[in-house]
């Protein structure tokens, strides 16, 4: 064991416990993304820079087709950028797909992506069970704790994903994403398809987990209420790069047509009320 | 030097013996086999000393919920008397303590369950039969409707399915038929030569290929290729709620989904059977020429004398029945798919297996019933 890899880990632990905030969880430098359709290269991102500090709850917003989900997939290493670097927790994103990925990054997919052949408990326990060493009882205990941490009743443990409602699928998927306690959590449209009550409950859950576990969260969503409710920072993707990355209030005041339409339209004004009434978003 | 191995060190302090947790206690680190074995024995050692031993977690480099669960289980699921830890660790352990419950037991199996499984199986078989009969009845009604207003029929659908089921299957059926013809001719030539009955190869190939192998081979290939496709298409429509959308719009699924496929299959199947038979006969003819020097000219002139025309009619009508059955079974399983991906896979598999079995069963039935025709 050398000292070099040990120290940053210790520093990160300290950061997660609230003693320091300068570490960056994700660093994207000069990123280019291109897609080839009908022989024509379409550039989605051009020299995009984005740094996400540890412990942040960052919302990525942008118009349809601005490449928010592509950005998320590049952080996950599911897609390789045409040019530029994506560094996640001090390592290149391309290395993520290897063993142990679940202990570094958790991802909540838009439709849950639960394994339909497994029960709820088996779904949550899957990354742990794949390690191969831990005894089944321990794996089961850990999965049961995670199941209840996301607000589900233990009686749902043996259900199949097909028998769950939309809100429950998201909760189970969140429990699975968190089962190895990764320091970084990515969310793709976490409240899409949930009714307002469920959506609020899910937001409350995400906020409490963010605070209790000291997670760094990156969220892609269109839902203004969710953005104001949860974000400590907002990054706006427009014109093929990040035009602003700041606290919610500053972003809303940023002079750009997209920002203006998105945050200060009719819906934006209503959602702003949340920001005024709670100190969370500041 | 810093050691990240998850382990326990025992220290003797003024207030008694103390177990100090060291290293990184996260799932990934704990799961290293050597570390895990060593840790297990250390935990067992601590457990034998019981309440006399205190715990110190403050020197842990990192602890996650899996590590906390290991500790909590080692403590026998209650707090040790002497415990030193950080606030974050306490919060984590409190969460574990609150949520550690035995998982709900899956139901125990009893001898009665076997009876129930059998009963379920019988009922589901009954359900399949009832479903097929209903589908057949609906098909007859839809066909009557079509006869009354032929102009309004879903002809575009029929022609589309005809192309996908029939035209695109031509290469594969020709290849398989040709190879089977070659293999059969070679095998037969060896046997027939022993008896000096070389010329009878035409009779054997003609009867077996035209009457039996051609139609059955084609039906099995089409069941695997198009029967599964029918189930998957209709099943996906269930998963994506397209079937519900059709129903809401008042479009009858029997008339628009089942009937066009059955008609297309009933037209395509005999044509493909004839096509496969021709390919097989061609292969047999070539092989007979190569293996026994039987000229193609002789083969072609001898064939009509060896095989009665009624055999061809039998093969064609058999193929129509196969086609209708494959389409109906495909639609039946497709419509039964539940809106999830697992059910889609099961339905497709069941559809192929059932249609191939039924094809062979019905073929046996034809063989028995028409045993006096054409031979």
Q: How far apart are CA A27 and CA B269, in angstroms?
A: 60
Q: Is residue B58 part of a domain?
A: yes
Same domain, B93 and B126: no
Helices assigned H by DSSP within chain B? 27-30, 33-49, 65-74, 87-99, 111-148, 155-165, 170-195, 201-207, 214-222, 228-239, 242-248, 253, 259-292, 296-306, 309-336, 341-369
Q: Which two tokens stand for residue B371?
A: 């045993």
Task: Tell whether the model's pLDDT for residue A15 goes beyond 60.
Answer: no
Interface test with B, best of A1, A114, A133, A140 (most B CBs within 10 A): A133
- List the single residue in A100, A147, A212 with the smallest CB-CB distance to B28: A100
User: Closest to A103 (Cβ–Cβ): which among B3, B28, B342?
Assistant: B28
| Same domain (yes/no): B126, B42 | no
C-alpha A171/C-alpha B132 separation (Å) is: 40
Residues of A in contact with B31 (CB under 8 A): 131-134
| Boundaries of every domain in chain A | 55-81+91-104+184-282, 111-181
Q: Which is nearest to B246 in space by CA: B235, B236, B256?
A: B256
Amino acid A16: pLDDT: 42
Is there a single domain that holds both residue B145 and residue B232?
yes
The model's pLDDT over B21-39, given as tens digits with 9 standing for 90+, comes to 888 888 888 888 888 888 8
Calpha distance A222→A216 (Å, rounded): 20
Q: Which residue has the tokens 């990160």?
A: A12
The pLDDT of residue A92 is 80
Chain B: closest CA distance from residue A273 (Å): 33
Half-sphere exposure of B253 (CA within 13 A, CB side): 18
Residue B359 CB-half CA count within 13 A: 32
CB < 8 Å to B235, chain A: none
Condensed to tens digits (0 to 9), the pLDDT of residues A125-174 reads: 888 888 888 888 888 888 888 888 888 888 888 888 888 888 888 889 98
Q: Indicate yes or no: CB of B31 within 8 angstroms of CB of A132.
A: yes
Question: Distance between CA atoms of A237 and A44, rounded to whole angstroms?
Answer: 10
**DSSP single-letter state for residue A164:** S
Tell me if B109 is assigned to some domain. Answer: no
Distance from the A170 Cα atom to the nearest Cα atom in chain B, whole angstroms: 16
Query: Which of the residues B99, B102, B240, B337 would you substitute to probe the A interface, choosing the one with the greatest number of A C-beta atoms within 10 Å?
Result: B99
Same domain, B244 and B324: yes
Say yes or no: B24 contacts chain A, CB-CB below 8 A. yes
Which DSSP symbol is given to A53?
E
B179-213 burial, b if ≥16 CB within 10 A, otherwise e?
ebbbebbbebbeebeeeeebeebbebbbbbbbbbb
Find all residues with CB under 8 Å of A146, minimum gap 6, and list them: A124, A175, A176, A178, A179, B65
pLDDT at position B18: 84
Residue of chain A minimizing CA distance to B338: A162
Tokens at A48, concatenated: 């995009």
Nearest to B31 among A134, A147, A149 (CB): A134
* Residue B273 CA neighbour count, 13 Å, CB half: 30
Cβ contact, residue pair A180, B342, below 8 Å: no
Tokens describing residue A41? 């290269």
End-to-end CA distance of chain A: 42
In-domain check, residue B246: yes
pLDDT of A7 > 50? The answer is no
Question: Is the same domain home to B209 and B146?
Answer: yes
Contact B6, B67 (CB under 8 A): yes
A112, A122, A141: which to substitute to probe chain B, counting the most B Cβ within 10 Å? Answer: A141
Residues β-bridged to residue A42: A35
**Owning domain of residue B344:** 122-369
Total number of domains in chain B: 2
Q: Does A151 touch chain B (CB under 8 A)?
A: no
Residues in B closer than 8 angstroms to A9, CB to CB, are: 4, 24, 61-62
Which span out of A202-211, A224-233, B251-260 was modeled with the highest average pLDDT? Answer: B251-260
CB contact (8 A) between residue B65 and residue A181: yes
Confidence of residue A4 (pLDDT cuts 50, 70, 90): very low
The CATH number given to whatever domain includes residue B73 is 3.30.750
Domain match, B20 and B144 both: no
| pLDDT for A83 beyond 80 | yes
User: Which token pair is B161?
Assistant: 């399915």
- pLDDT tens over chain B, length 375 residues: 457 788 888 888 777 788 888 888 888 888 888 888 888 888 888 878 777 788 888 888 888 888 888 888 888 888 888 888 888 888 888 888 888 777 667 666 778 888 888 999 999 999 999 999 999 999 999 999 999 999 888 999 999 999 999 999 999 999 999 999 999 999 999 889 888 888 889 999 999 999 999 999 999 999 999 999 999 999 999 988 899 898 888 888 899 999 999 999 999 999 999 999 999 999 999 999 998 888 999 999 999 999 999 999 999 999 999 999 999 999 999 999 988 777 899 999 999 999 999 999 999 999 999 998 877
pLDDT at position A277, please? Answer: 63
pLDDT surpassing 60 at residue A224: yes
Look at residue B267 in the predicted model and tell me its pLDDT. 96
Q: What angle do CA A277, A189, A242 make, to 5 degrees?
A: 80
Q: Which of the listed residues B41, B65, B99 is the one where a domain comes to its end?
A: B99
Asked if B334 and B232 touch (Cβ cutoff 8 Å), the reply is yes
B77 and B190 share one domain? no
Distance CA B326, CA B81 (A): 72
Q: How many angstroms separate the first and last alpha carbons of chain B?
A: 91
B65 touches chain A (CB under 8 A): yes
CB count within 10 Å of CB B74 equals 19
Determine phi and psi for A238, rounding to 5 degrees. Answer: -155, 160
Chain B contact set for A214 (CB, 8 A): 88
How many Å is the maximal CA-CA distance in chain B? 110
Q: What is the pLDDT of residue B106?
A: 67
Tell me if residue A125 falls in helix, strand or coil: helix
The reply to whether B68 and B154 lie within a common domain is no
Give just the sign of the alpha carbon dihedral B317, B323, B329, B331.
negative
Confidence of residue A11 (pLDDT cuts 50, 70, 90): very low
Q: List Cα–Cα distances, A185 to A91, A175, B54, B76, in angstroms.
A: 16, 11, 35, 32
Q: Count how many Cα atoms sit within 13 Å of the Cα of residue B314 in the half-sphere of its side chain.
A: 27
Partner residue opposite A10 with nearest CB, options B61, B70, B339: B61
Q: CB atoms < 10 A from the CB of A49, how many?
A: 13
Which chain A residue has its CA at the smallest distance from B35's CA? A133
Selecting from B70, B88, B104 the residue whose C-beta is nearest the C-beta of A155 gives B104
How far apart CA A249 and CA A254 sit, in angstroms, is 9
> Same domain for B171 and B303?
yes
| Closest CA in chain A for residue B106 | A158
The bridge status of strand A241-246 relative to strand A233-238 is antiparallel
Report the alpha-carbon distance of residue A88 to residue A51 in Å, rounded.
10
Overall average pLDDT of the A209-213 stretch: 82
Is B27 in Cβ contact with A128 (below 8 Å)?
A: yes
State how far residue B54 is from chain A, nearest Cα, in angstroms. 23
Nearest by Cα to A58 from A247, A275, A236, A233:
A233
pLDDT at A280 over 70: no
Which pLDDT score is estimated for A99?
Answer: 66
Of A3, A132, A144, the CB nearest to B101: A144
Q: Could you tell me if A165 lies within 8 Å of chain B, comparing CB atoms?
A: no
What is the ipTM score, two decimals?
0.73
Tell me which CATH homologous superfamily contains domain A55-81+91-104+184-282: P-loop containing nucleotide triphosphate hydrolases (3.40.50.300)
Do you know the residue count of chain B? 375
Residues B252 and B171 in one domain: yes
Distance between CA atoms of residues B347 and B340, nearest Å = 11
Task: Give the whole-angstrom CA distance, residue B186 versus residue B322.
Answer: 29
Copy the structure tokens of residue A164.
Answer: 């769950």
DSSP strand pairing (A105-108 vs A24-37): unpaired
Alpha helices in A103-256 (DSSP H): 120-131, 136-149, 166-178, 196-213, 224-230, 248-252
Nearest-Cα residue of chain A relative to residue B340: A162
pLDDT at A65 over 80: no
């Amino acid at each position: 064991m050398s000292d070099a890899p040990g120290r940053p880990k210790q520093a990160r632990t300290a950061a997660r416990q609230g003693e320091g905030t300068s570490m960056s969880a994700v660093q994207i430098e000069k990123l280019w993304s291109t897609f080839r359709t009908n022989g024509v290269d379409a550039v989605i991102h051009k020299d995009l820079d984005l740094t996400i500090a540890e412990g942040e709850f960052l919302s990525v917003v942008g118009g349809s087709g601005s490449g928010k989900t592509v950005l998320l997939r590049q952080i996950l290493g599911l897609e390789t950028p045409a040019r530029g670097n994506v560094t996640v927790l001090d390592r290149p994103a391309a290395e993520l797909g290897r063993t142990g990925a679940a202990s570094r990054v958790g991802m909540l997919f838009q439709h849950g992506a639960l394994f339909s052949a497994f029960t709820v408990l088996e779904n949550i326990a899957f990354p742990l069970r794949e390690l191969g060493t831990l005894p089944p009882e321990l794996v089961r205990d850990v999965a049961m704790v995670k199941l209840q941490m996301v607000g589900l009743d233990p009686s749902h443990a043996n259900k199949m994903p097909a028998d769950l409602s939309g809100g429950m699928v998201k909760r189970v998927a969140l429990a699975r994403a968190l089962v190895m306690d990764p320091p970084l959590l990515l969310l793709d449209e976490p409240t899409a398809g949930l009714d307002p009550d469920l959506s609020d409950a899910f937001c409350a859950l995400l906020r409490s987990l963010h605070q209790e576990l000291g997670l760094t969260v990156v969220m892609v969503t269109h839902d203004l209420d969710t953005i104001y409710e949860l974000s400590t920072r907002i990054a706006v993707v427009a014109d093929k790069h990040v035009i602003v990355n700041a606290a919610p209030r500053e972003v809303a005041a940023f002079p750009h047509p997209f920002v203006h339409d998105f945050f200060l339209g009719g819906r934006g004004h209503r959602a702003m009320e949340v920001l005024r009434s709670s100190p969370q978003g500041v | 030097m810093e050691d990240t191995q998850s382990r326990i060190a025992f220290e003797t302090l003024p207030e008694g013996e103390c177990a100090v947790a060291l290293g990184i206690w996260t799932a990934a680190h704990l799961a290293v086999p050597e570390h895990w074995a060593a840790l297990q024995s250390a935990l067992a050692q601590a457990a034998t000393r019981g309440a006399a031993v205190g715990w110190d977690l403050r020197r842990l480099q990192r602890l996650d919920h899996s590590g906390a669960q290991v500790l909590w289980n080692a403590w026998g699921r209650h707090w040790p008397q002497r415990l030193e830890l950080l606030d974050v660790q306490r919060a984590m352990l409190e969460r574990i303590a609150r949520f550690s419950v035995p998982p709900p037991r899956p139901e125990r199996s009893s001898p009665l369950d076997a009876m129930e499984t059998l009963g379920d199986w019988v009922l589901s078989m009954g359900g399949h039969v009832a479903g097929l009969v209903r589908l057949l009845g609906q098909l007859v009604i839809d066909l009557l409707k079509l006869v009354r207003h032929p102009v309004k029929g879903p002809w575009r659908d029929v022609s589309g399915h005809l192309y996908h089921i029939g035209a695109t299957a031509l290469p594969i059926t020709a290849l398989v038929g040709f190879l089977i013809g070659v293999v059969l001719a070679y095998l037969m030539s060896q046997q027939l030569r022993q008896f000096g009955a070389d010329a009878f190869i035409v009779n054997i190939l003609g009867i077996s290929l035209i009457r039996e192998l051609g139609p059955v081979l084609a039906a099995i290939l089409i069941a695997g290729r198009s029967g599964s496709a029918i189930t998957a298409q209709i099943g996906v429509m269930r998963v994506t709620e397209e079937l519900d959308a059709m129903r809401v719009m008042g479009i009858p699924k029997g008339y628009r989904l089942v009937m066009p496929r059955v008609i297309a299959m009933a037209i395509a199947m005999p044509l493909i059977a004839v096509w496969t038979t021709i390919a097989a006969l061609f292969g047999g003819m070539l092989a007979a020429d190569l293996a026994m020097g039987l000229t193609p000219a002789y083969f072609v002139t001898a064939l009509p004398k060896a095989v009665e025309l009624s055999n061809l009619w039998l093969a064609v009508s058999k193929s129509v029945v196969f086609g209708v059955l494959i389409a109906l079974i495909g639609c039946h399983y497709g419509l039964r798919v539940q809106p999830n991906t697992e059910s889609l896979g099961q339905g497709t598999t069941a559809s192929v297996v059932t249609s191939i079995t039924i094809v062979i069963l019905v073929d046996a039935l034809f063989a028995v019933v028409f045993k006096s025709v054409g031979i």
